[in-house]
Structure 1
Amino acid sequence: MSLDTVKSAETTPDVTQPYADLGLKPDEYARIREILGRRPTSCELAMYSVMWSEHCSYKSSKVHLRQFGEKAPQTDVLMVGMGENAGVVDIGDGYAVTFKVESHNHPSYVEPYQGAATGIGGIVRDILTMGARPVAVMDPLRFGPLDAEDTRRVLPGVVAGIGGYGNCLGLPNIGGEVVFDPTYLGNPLVNALCVGVMKHDDIKLAKASGPGNQVILFGARTGGDGIGGVSVLASETFDAEGPSKRPSVQVGDPFAEKVLIECCLEIFAADLVVGIQDLGGAGLSCATTELSSAGAGGMHVVLDRVPLRDSTLAPEEILMSESQERMCAIVEPSKVDAFLEICSKWDVEAVVIGEVNDSGRLTVEWRGETVVDVPPRTVAHEGPVYERPYERPADQDALQADTASRLPRPATAAELRATILRLAGSPNLCDKSWITSQYDRYVLGNTVLAMPDDAGVVRVDEESGLGVAVSTDCNGRFARLDPYAGAQLALAEAYRNVAAKGARPLAVTDCLNFGSPEDPGVMWQFAEAVRGLADGCLELEVPVTGGNVSFYNQTGETAILPTPVVGVLGVLPDVRTRVPMGFVNDGDTILLLGDTREELDGSEWAHVVHGHLGGTPPMVDLEAERSLAAVLVEGAEQGVFSSAHDLSEGGLAQGLVECCLANGIGARVELPTGLDAFVALFSESAARAIVSVPAQHRYAVEAFAEMHGVTVAEIGTVGGGSLRINADIEISLSDLREAHTATLPAALA
């Protein structure tokens, strides 16, 4: 096969090209020809196809995502916002933190171990490219039913991949979620979050500025694994036949990435780069086009210089490969030798593959011939933008009309007791230590709190105790009932979780997981969720720093629950003031903060006991969330709480179970008067938390609550070997623990 060069493309306009096989639509292919004034070469076609994919170009979501900028709250904490590899926020004392969450859903279904492992590797490199040292990871996960055969195939591999890669990198896994629902069968969600720390002056950006500067590719060699990779896999739905695209899944080497991290940090410390980009989705196509597009506007690359693991790779494959553990840096000529010397010290292969220029073109040379000559902005930043049609699903009104009020409820003390135990052992609420025990939570020595607590907390500065808390959340059932409110409830819960640890919520990242954007009903869910999240962030004054959109999460006609995962980061001036989840001291008073209403639609009770989904989700009151957070943060600063735990899935009953089991200390509880016992125990009203308080601090908490307009009710006392509710419900801690801990080992052993 002869080489398809720019010259041959100019003289053979009628050559048939496989643009449809690469995921391009006829009008997109026509636009490429219009941009170039000729047909594309096969290398150019490869580059446009991966960069214009849904995963890389956000072509169906851009028109909605603009709201995060248009409605952004005015805040001085945001140092780098959307558009870079990750957002950066100022946390004080000269420190900045970068954090981001992304998806690796389809690759993790096809090849669970490598898909999940390289998801961790990719998000860690995004954080690294900002100039930060990665300090922790998190993993929000969604799977099909726990008893489904394919869940037993996918879940263990995903967990092993996350643990294997993260543990080898030496990064603590400090939190996340594990949720089971039938809609995720065949479309698991594997989202990965990373947090990194740097000084203000250490921030790096992805741009190739300075004509004459050198383009250096360093890290692992390029191989045939991951060709098309996530850029292709995440841009189409699966058919019902199951996994069939294993060659597209990247293969990770965490030890190579660990060395690459240390090499990069030494390079940063020596101030040797003017721009840097990791090679993730779309590989070299992405790195070269994005760097040149955001910088001086031009670049020449000699593709023959790229180190290969497979010498038979065609130039198109080299450009599309998503082989892992690779970085691309822009370096001044006078600093190239020093750069290469550090790479040599760390045994990291590094090669100068090109040069920055001001031509306004990206040109790529292969075996002496020009195979790419494109305006880089048209590849990286000026792809197609679709205003997809969207409409409220035809079944939405009927779904909301089918409330949980018609469902039979437990009435006797024995029935309530049995329901508490059943929910405590249900897949979504049960103990997840079968999973989390495979992750190292304490490596690096700065983990202060980790799962199963409300949020992960890591120390940033050992001298002052400055630290951050991070939580991710989303209830897909709530988002299905009302995507606008569901997105705000996800934001509110993550915000509340961070505040419950005593941290002031500061910023947001999101991973928006939805079905096919070509389905108007799915697109309506997406549009409503984005609108809800943007409005919510504006009201709570927490900016969106960046994130990810994952579409095509469906098998055939079956879409996942709309799942807008929201991560919130908060700052703790001193991590020694953090507040744990579990009860600590016998005799402490238990206080319920916030108002409980009869809100059971979409609840865990309705889901577990009746398999029911219908009605409307709990009321969103973001002002109440702000007020509750103020009480929790001020109380933590004053040291008045022994424990604090937000209430969400499973309601007060599940909150009490988790507080008791955390440290093996029971409680005696009297439910608030004026509420039916069932509603008091299982309602999932938002803006609520339970705190335990030493007697001498009770009135201080009540004063905080009154000042901020937060309802407070005394509901019990910490102590004993059981959870006793009113006079007629008592469950020993041993029975609670057996119900709570047996589920996953029994299903996955």
Structure 2
Amino acid sequence: MSLADSDRELVVEELEREPTPAEAALFENLWSEHCAYRSSRPLLSAFDSEGEQVVIGPGDDAAVVALPGSEDGGAEEGSTYITMGIESHNHPSYVDPFDGAATGVGGIVRDTLSMGAYPIALADSLYFGEFDDEHSKYLFEGVVEGISHYGNCIGVPTVAGSVDFHPDYEGNPLVNVACVGLTNEERLVTAVAQEPGNKLVLVGNGTGRDGLGGASFASEDLAEDAETEDRPAVQVGDPYAEKLLIEANEQLVDEGLIESARDLGAAGLGGASSELVAKGGLGAQIELERVHQREPNMNALEILLAESQERMCYEVEPENVDRVAEIAERFDLGCSVIGEVTEQNYTCTFEGETVVDVDAYFLGEGAPMNDLESEQPAQPETDLPDADLEDAFETVLSSPNTASKRWVYRQYDHEVGVRTSVGPGDDAAIIAVREAEQGLAISSGAAPSWTSAAPYEGAKAIALENATNVAAKGATPLAAVDCLNGGNPEKPDVYGGFTAIVDGLADMCETLSAPVVGGNVSLYNDSVTGPIPPTPTLAMVGTKEGYDAPPLSVEADSDSTLLLVGDLGLESGDARLGGSEYLARHGGSDQFPELPADPAALVETLADVANDGDTLAVHDVSHGGLAVALAEMVTEEAGLEVSLPIPDDADEAVAAALFHEQPGRALVQTESPETVSAAFDGVAPVVELGSTTDDGTLALTIGNRTITTDAGEIRDHRATIERELE
């Protein structure tokens, strides 16, 4: 770890002296890109983070949103609150996929605890290099194992997420994890220190030497030897200690013993404690030797900056310290009174020597912002491949990106907590929030092929795609959090792409009235293989009355009709193939599809239709296009007869209609097609595609050609990941 010369000059000017080694290391970590957002903060004002439902927006460990409970949908006394947070653990997951991913789960769960909330659901969005690459498979298997091990052990269900494979993640995978928690006004805690004289109490695992310099490690490109040289920067998790910490935190909150809280993540104790007091405009006096440790002879810098897991920093009134210690002991957790809140500087001593004495606000907010050059992404040319229709159907259906992710989510316990009404594998999950008698729909993911082809339009499409997933379950968007992943921002083309995804995501979320209430930025995802695609993971929640939702799969019903809501693309120019899995598998390029004219009305109407009593099934049309969506709706008991009215000689129109990936479209099986058409009148086109059968066969007719397959063949095509890894 070393403080950059330009930053050191600013520190010396502020302190009017040279920083101590501990101070220099603390500034180096807290002023890193990972903590200070030096390249991204100037862009984040694009997001609309306000709304009547927003209780706490960006800036705390997690956002807090009120579930609708009043006529205006805003927060009122007695409202049920949810917390939302999302984090990245990208570089650690490359160096050590199991521990890197596992501690990513642990960190976002502790962010939830620090708000006085109980974690009720996880969603993970994962991005790797090409699936047929052995190293990518190694990372993939290790990450999934780490997430499942940690999540299963702590008893928090993983209910949603996504998995994408793209060659540009080969040298730098992404692991983005979101967590939803449950709290209310009486239980709410923040990371704002309240009162001088209150004690700072560290509860949880002992501090070791793991994770040293983790924040600075996350703020630089991955080197070729990162897997060996950067191993000490990766934290090691203990999910059993985290489970104890979850329950202890619940007891502390129930008894009203916590004035403020911060989990120990990036920059360890130094980061958590200094940020806590800085938010309250206060300072602290900390005696580092009081920190309970699990390794001998640790020095001040190690104690201050180690990112050992399963630790929380609490502000506690002096008269409550003994009770906090009793609860920690009951749950077999370490507990140290390490100092107190003051009105002065943030100071740390070690064995009588002052090693840190700085203004807490300057330590957190003093980092200068970067002024970087930006280049606008180029528009792709149209160069479409000539592919056989049936071969293309099988190829796209069996692509790892569109294939079943069952191998992943079957390793996760998604039933623990007995709140899961709709689990992984559907368009969105639904969690039963019985306290408010509402279903909470959760969708999370991005689409690297979309944002590679068109960063701005692709990011808008990702926001609409997540909203459509939520609406397909009958829920309307409430709020979202984002994880903005990019490469080295010092490269103008990379920074241009990153700027575009920020603007695209912000514009569509505002259009959908879904405030972005929090998030995370991860830059320098760059390696010897090059930068990652700009990747704006969005985790969106929506609400609905009750916990039931229409299924994704059709049911055999002779009186029903299958409808497509959205553009079929009868003319080749109406359905652009840019960003599609079809082009990813067959080569070529095209412009990105145009988005619906009124996406907010489309999402609201789709949610209403999904809740209609005559609706039997709803499925979002997205990755892989109409062809994949139709195949996914077929079961052993129910098939589909579908006819697309496309001229026999319009080969390009056929490919476009089957495989273009315009978001905001859905397939609806209904017993009242007139009702659906009337609902979408003036909002989106509605096309009648066909009907269901009871033989488990998909018969897809295009002009005078018919593709016929059955549920067993579809299952075999979609078993690409399972077949390779089992």
Q: Deviations over 1:400-456 (max 9, x none)?
A: 12x243x2143xxxxx23322221111111111112111111111111112210111
Q: Deviations over 1:718-741 (max 9, x none)?
A: 222210012622112211111111
Structure 1 residue 522 corresponds to structure 2 residue 494? yes
Structure 1 residue 438 corresponds to structure 2 residue 423? no
Seq. identity, %: 39
Cα distance in structure 2, aligned partners of 1:418 and 1:177: 26
Given that 2:511 and 2:600 are in contact with CA atoms closer than 8 Å, whether structure 1 keeps it comes out as no
Deviation at 1:673, TM superposition (A): 4.9
Which residue number in structure 2 is paired with residue 92 of structure 1?
68
Deviation at 1:51, TM superposition (A): 0.6
Which residue number in structure 2 is paired with residue 239 of structure 1?
223
Cα distance in structure 1, aligned partners of 2:196 and 2:579: 57
Deviation at 1:67, TM superposition (A): 1.8
Cα distance in structure 1, aligned partners of 2:366 and 2:471: 40
Given that 2:201 and 2:315 are in contact with CA atoms closer than 8 Å, whether structure 1 keeps it comes out as yes
Kindly provide the amino acid, as one letter, of the partner of residue 545 in structure 1: V
Moved more, 417-426 or 128-137: 417-426
Q: Deviations over 1:677-724 (max 9, x none)?
A: 332211212221001112xx3322222122x52211211112222100
Which residue number in structure 2 is paired with residue 580 of structure 1?
551
User: 2:631 pairs with 642, 648, 657, which one?
Assistant: 657
Given that 1:672 and 1:680 are in contact with CA atoms closer than 8 Å, whether structure 2 keeps it comes out as no
Please list every run of 5 or more consecutive structure 1 residues that lacks an aligned counterpart in the other structure: 1-20, 411-415
User: 1:313 pairs with 270, 273, 298, which one?
Assistant: 298
User: 2:689 pairs with 707, 715, 727, which one?
Assistant: 715
Kindly provide the amino acid, as one letter, of the partner of residue 585 in structure 2: V
Cα distance in structure 2, aligned partners of 1:404 and 1:440: 44
Q: Deviations over 1:484-540 (max 9, x none)?
A: 111111111011111111111011111111100111111111111112222222222
Q: Which has the higher helix share?
A: 1
Given that 1:478 and 1:616 are in contact with CA atoms closer than 8 Å, whether structure 2 keeps it comes out as no
Structure 1 residue 44 corresponds to structure 2 residue 23? yes
Deviation at 1:557, TM superposition (A): 6.3
Aligned pairs (5 A) from 1:143-542: 143-229=128-214, 231-244=215-228, 245-359=230-344, 361-392=345-376, 396-397=378-379, 400-401=380-381, 403-405=382-384, 407-410=385-388, 416-461=389-434, 465-542=437-514
Which residue number in structure 2 is paired with residue 678 of structure 1?
655
State the TM-score, normalizing by the size of structure 2: 0.94
Cα distance in structure 2, aligned partners of 1:557 and 1:298: 44
Which residue number in structure 2 is paired with residue 724 of structure 1?
699
Kindly provide the amino acid, as one letter, of the partner of residue 12 in structure 2: R
Deviation at 1:628, TM superposition (A): 2.1
Cα distance in structure 1, aligned partners of 2:383 and 2:540: 30
Given that 1:640 and 1:701 are in contact with CA atoms closer than 8 Å, whether structure 2 keeps it comes out as no
Kindly provide the amino acid, as one letter, of the partner of residue 703 in structure 1: A
Kindly provide the amino acid, as one letter, of the partner of residue 218 in structure 2: A
Cα distance in structure 2, aligned partners of 1:106 and 1:279: 18
Given that 1:292 and 1:299 are in contact with CA atoms closer than 8 Å, whether structure 2 keeps it comes out as yes
Which residue number in structure 1 is paired with residue 581 of structure 2?
604
Q: Deviations over 1:76-133 (max 9, x none)?
A: 1111101111111111342111112211000000001000000000011111111111
Given that 1:594 and 1:628 are in contact with CA atoms closer than 8 Å, whether structure 2 keeps it comes out as no
Please list every run of 5 or more consecutive structure 2 residues that lacks an aligned counterpart in the other structure: 70-78, 569-573
User: 2:666 pairs with 662, 675, 689, which one?
Assistant: 689
SS in 2 for 1:670: strand
SS in 1 for 2:122: strand
Cα distance in structure 1, aligned partners of 2:164 and 2:53: 32
Cα distance in structure 2, aligned partners of 1:392 and 1:25: 29
Given that 1:296 and 1:357 are in contact with CA atoms closer than 8 Å, whether structure 2 keeps it comes out as no
Deviation at 1:627, TM superposition (A): 2.2
Q: Deviations over 1:659-690 (max 9, x none)?
A: 114x6521111114578333221121222100
Kindly provide the amino acid, as one letter, of the partner of residue 163 in structure 2: V
Moved more, 556-565 or 107-116: 556-565
Which residue number in structure 2 is paired with residue 594 of structure 1?
566
Given that 1:109 and 1:115 are in contact with CA atoms closer than 8 Å, whether structure 2 keeps it comes out as yes
Aligned pairs (5 A) from 1:638-653: 638-653=612-627
Q: Structure 1 residues 459, 404: CA separation in 2 closer, same or farther (over 3 Å shift)?
A: farther
Which residue number in structure 2 is paired with residue 76 of structure 1?
52
Kindly provide the amino acid, as one letter, of the partner of residue 433 in structure 1: R
Given that 2:165 and 2:400 are in contact with CA atoms closer than 8 Å, whether structure 1 keeps it comes out as yes
Kindly provide the amino acid, as one letter, of the partner of residue 373 in structure 2: P
Given that 1:210 and 1:296 are in contact with CA atoms closer than 8 Å, whether structure 2 keeps it comes out as no
Given that 2:148 and 2:412 are in contact with CA atoms closer than 8 Å, whether structure 1 keeps it comes out as yes
State the TM-score, normalizing by the size of structure 1: 0.91
Equivalent residue pairs, number: 702
Given that 2:166 and 2:448 are in contact with CA atoms closer than 8 Å, whether structure 1 keeps it comes out as no
SS in 2 for 1:247: helix
Which residue number in structure 1 is paired with residue 76 of structure 2?
none
Given that 1:517 and 1:523 are in contact with CA atoms closer than 8 Å, whether structure 2 keeps it comes out as yes
